[in-house]
């Protein structure tokens, strides 16, 4: 009888995918990394804020846990928060072992504070270049260990068979390639670039969610999209993220009239949760008919700013601005996908042998609004748990059942020619989401977005080629539809989801919302 396969197929090359690959290799498994672009490109490398762990004096996993629950607006799954906060210090030790150069002061880890954290527990590397340093360190380790990496391999399809194996189809430069493995780990990242204004790189378009859903996976909490409050705002310039750690150092937000406005919206002012700050800015922009507000760090010592934020400082210099001497124009952008493919604490989905971790996954850790700097740690903690589950042949249990599940019955085709406006391009999708499924939402706009995305998906599916392969936009449309449909269904405001027609939380909606698809 042949020995069981040790192959582990990992789709994605951000912190979650790279860490799973390294740990799987250390435990004697044979990981293969498949990545949509090059190994060097992922959301991780753009993460400025840092990575959260209770490793400082006077801090504790319990305090980190309490902050995570508070930020999640009543929807955090407590066991997931416990797992992350208790295991985070050990995962930091792993990164140190791999060689991540965390910042120190007199030989001790330098710990910053960010929005909604009760104390300083954010580790940085290279000041505001944390994600870049982690990504490059893990990539270098992957290369040094000789792990197999297949670049320019876009996930096209997944299916699980009765034996518990997952078949996987990938679009490569050679055409469609089909593979099979007893273990597939989905670590494809988020969907922020589906929005017209986003902090994410172009690869972050959420296909992993759509492909998993087409394979039968449950997705959940897709309506909760986190908008980062402070991206650089100037016509023709990139939406460069101005890390909220700048506000953690004491910077203020000013409106078009030069007034500090955040104390009117929340007792923590600029250190309020991200959803609160983003909404406050949106309201101020609406009142003043302006395109941006301003970040004011002029009262903070120049030497401190240059030491803490070299990446931000360099970018602003290229734009002719000085963080320590001038007001910086900023506005919110789409930043993080809180929901995703539903999984349990061991990364197990509703599709047998398909695991998931990182931003594409939804364990309930973030609730309705992610606590700052928990995302990088999430990929490590649940990536480690996947490796342990695979090694122990843990019984397949799947994720907890959400409080409510929608079934989307999608039309495969329509009678007669579709309206021209329903042939949605990628740019049209991003504009539709930004306009109707952005920071401020209401029923009419959401219903229109759902209708157009459903029609657009049918058009894209009908455009399938001779092998039945639909154009790439079909999966973008499906992920966008999950976001819009969840937002239309949730008739309340909570965390990153704000309905102007239902502006307060409702007890009846204190639950997770799942979505499945059925193609008619």
Give the contacts of 508 (CB within 8 A, at least 6 positions apart).
492
Length in residues, the chain: 520
Give me the half-sphere count of Cα atoms (radius 13 Å) on the Cβ side of residue 320.
Answer: 2
> What are residue 218's phi and psi, to 5 degrees?
-80, 135
Distance CA 437, CA 183 (A): 35
Catalytic-residue membership of 274: yes
State how far Cα 299 lies from the chain centre: 33
Distance CA 182, CA 159 (A): 12
β-pair type (340-342, 361-362): parallel
Distance CA 460, CA 456 (A): 6
Distance CA 333, CA 232 (A): 9
Give the contacts of 376 (CB within 8 A, at least 6 positions apart).
15, 44, 47, 50, 51, 130, 131, 134
Distance CA 395, CA 389 (A): 8
Distance CA 260, CA 352 (A): 52
Catalytic residue among 45, 91, 274, 441: 274
DSSP 284-308: HHHHHT-S-EEEE-TTS-HHHHHHH
Task: Return the DSSP state at 42.
Answer: S
DSSP 344-371: -TTSB-SSTTEEE-STTEE-STTTTSPP
> What are residue 171's phi and psi, to 5 degrees?
-85, 120
> What are residue 139's phi and psi, to 5 degrees?
-60, -45
State how far Cα 506 lies from the chain centre: 25
Tokens of 31: 């990981």
What amino acid positions are annotated as catalytic residues? 274
């Amino acid at each position: 009888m042949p020995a069981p396969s040790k192959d582990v197929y990992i789709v994605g090359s951000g912190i979650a995918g790279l860490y799973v690959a390294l740990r799987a290799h250390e435990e004697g498994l044979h990981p293969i990394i498949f990545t949509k672009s090059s190994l060097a490109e992922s959301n991780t490398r753009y993460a400025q804020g840092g990575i959260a762990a209770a490793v400082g004096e006077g801090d504790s996993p319990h305090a980190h846990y309490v902050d995570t629950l508070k930020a999640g607006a009543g929807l955090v799954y407590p066991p997931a928060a416990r797992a992350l906060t208790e295991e985070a210090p050990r995962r930091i030790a792993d990164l140190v072992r791999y060689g991540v150069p965390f910042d120190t002061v007199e030989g001790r880890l330098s710990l910053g504070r960010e929005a909604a954290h009760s104390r300083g527990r954010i580790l940085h590397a290279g000041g505001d270049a944390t994600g870049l340093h982690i990504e490059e360190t893990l990539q270098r380790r992957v290369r040094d260990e000789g792990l197999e990496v297949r670049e320019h391999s876009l996930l096209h399809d997944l299916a699980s068979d009765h034996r518990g194996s997952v078949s996987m189809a990938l679009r490569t430069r050679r055409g469609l390639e089909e593979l099979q493995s007893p273990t597939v780990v989905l670590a494809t990242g988020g969907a922020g670039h589906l929005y017209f204004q986003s902090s994410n790189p172009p690869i972050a378009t959420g296909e992993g969610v759509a492909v998993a859903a087409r394979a039968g996976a449950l997705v959940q909490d897709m309506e909760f999209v986190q908008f980062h409050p402070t991206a650089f705002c100037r016509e023709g310039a990139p939406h460069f993220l101005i890390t909220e750690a700048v506000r953690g150092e004491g910077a203020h937000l000013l409106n078009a009239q030069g007034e500090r406005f955040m104390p009117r919206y929340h007792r923590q002012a600029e250190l309020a949760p991200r959803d609160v700050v983003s909404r406050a800015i949106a309201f101020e922009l609406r009142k003043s008919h302006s395109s941006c507000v301003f970040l004011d760090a002029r009262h903070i010592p120049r030497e401190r700013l240059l030491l803490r934020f070299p990446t931000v400082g360099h970018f602003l210099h290229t734009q002719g601005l000085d963080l320590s001497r001038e007001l910086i124009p900023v506005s919110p952008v789409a930043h993080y996908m809180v929901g995703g493919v539903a999984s349990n604490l061991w990364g197990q989905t509703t599709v047998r042998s398909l695991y998931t971790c990182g931003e594409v996954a939804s364990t309930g850790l973030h609730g309705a609004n992610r606590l700052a700097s928990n995302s990088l740690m999430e990929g490590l903690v649940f990536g480690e748990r996947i490796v342990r589950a695979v090694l122990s042949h843990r019984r397949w249990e799947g994720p907890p059942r959400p409080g409510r599940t929608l079934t989307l019955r999608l039309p495969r085709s329509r009678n007669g020619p579709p309206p021209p406006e329903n042939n949605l391009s990628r740019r049209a999708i991003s504009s539709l989401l930004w306009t109707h499924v952005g920071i401020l939402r209401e029923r009419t706009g959401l219903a229109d977005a759902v209708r157009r995305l459903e029609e657009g998906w049918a058009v894209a599916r009908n455009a399938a080629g001779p092998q039945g392969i639909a154009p790439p936009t079909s999966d973008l449309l499906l992920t966008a539809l999950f976001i819009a449909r969840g937002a239309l269904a949730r008739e309340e405001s909570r965390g990153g989801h704000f309905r102007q027609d239902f502006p307060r939380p409702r007890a009846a909606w204190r639950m997770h919302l799942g979505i499945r698809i059925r193609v008619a």
